[in-house]
Amino acid sequence: MNKYKPRQQNLYQPNSAKAFRISRSKIDLFCECRRCFWLDRKMGLGRPSMPGFTLNSAVDQLLKNEFDQLRKTGDKHELMERFNIDAVPFDHPDLPFWRDDVHRFIGAAVIHQPTNLEICGIVDDLWINSKNELHIVDYKATSTNKEISLEDEYKQSFKKQIEIYQWIFRRLGFKVSDIGYFVYANAGKNRPKFDARLEFELQIISYRGDDSWVEPTLFELKECLASPTLPPAGENCEYCAYRQHIAKIENASSRI
């Protein structure tokens, strides 16, 4: 097993003229815990990595394939009809880059001039309505017998995700609707036999976003990056709490 080493690349350099790239997920990290964000972006000490959710990725790709079949023809998906959504899949030559089909790990990006931060994020899909407004669309896969809701605590980051993408695409010059959509694929688990297949129920949940928090957060984020001192831990950060408990035990053990 390789020893953990701090990351040497993509670290914030205060005197660099080049815009510093901040992804949507790193903005979410900043909102959750400024200490973890500072350690990650300045010191290269990211949180322990997690394995990829390959089943979720498979669902994402299959949904993209399905909507892509309608993208060129300008037809509605049957889900749009069922949920009375006035929109069709949006076709644009830059869509493969925004969705990161080419694996550059950037997505849609825009430079916020006042902070010299390049804000980027990878979208799942874009739909366009009869008013020529874009809808940000995110695919989600789950398996639950409960009613799917956006009010769970951990799903608040989903809402931020939509709002950051709305902010990005508005600054790319597009007319963007406040309404975003989550396409949920819910895998059933009450069948008597597996039969080597999963059966999903699809539904669309709408969300009215408000991106007014994004720009003030970018100024706070830049201030955090420029600070030479370690910020306080987030109130509910499990990672920082874990490190603090480990440090107490290690310090106590070293005195024995």
Mean pLDDT, residues 111-140 taken together: 97
Mean pLDDT, residues 129-155 taken together: 91
Residue 194 has pLDDT above 90, yes or no: no
Q: Give the list of residues 6+ apart from residue 119 with CB closer than 8 angstroms, or none.
A: 22, 24, 27, 109, 110, 111, 112, 164, 167, 168, 218
Question: Which ranges constitute the DSSP H helices of 33-119?
Answer: 34-43, 54-71, 78-82, 95-98
123 and 23 in contact (C-beta within 8 Å)? no
Question: What residue ranges define each of the domains in the chain, with the CATH number in brackets?
Answer: 20-254 (3.90.320)
Higher pLDDT, residue 145 or 4: 145
Mean pLDDT, residues 163-181 taken together: 98
Of 55-64, 148-157, 176-185, 210-219, the one with minimum mean pLDDT is 148-157
Residue 256 has pLDDT above 70, yes or no: no
Q: Give the list of residues 6+ apart from residue 48 with CB closer than 8 angstroms, or none.
A: none
Q: Categorize the per-residue pLDDT at 193 as very low, low, confident or very high, splitting at 50, 70 and 90.
A: confident
Predicted local distance difference test score (pLDDT) of residue 25:
95
Q: What is the mean pLDDT of the chain?
A: 92
Q: Which of 25, 60, 58 is nearest to 140 (CA)?
A: 60
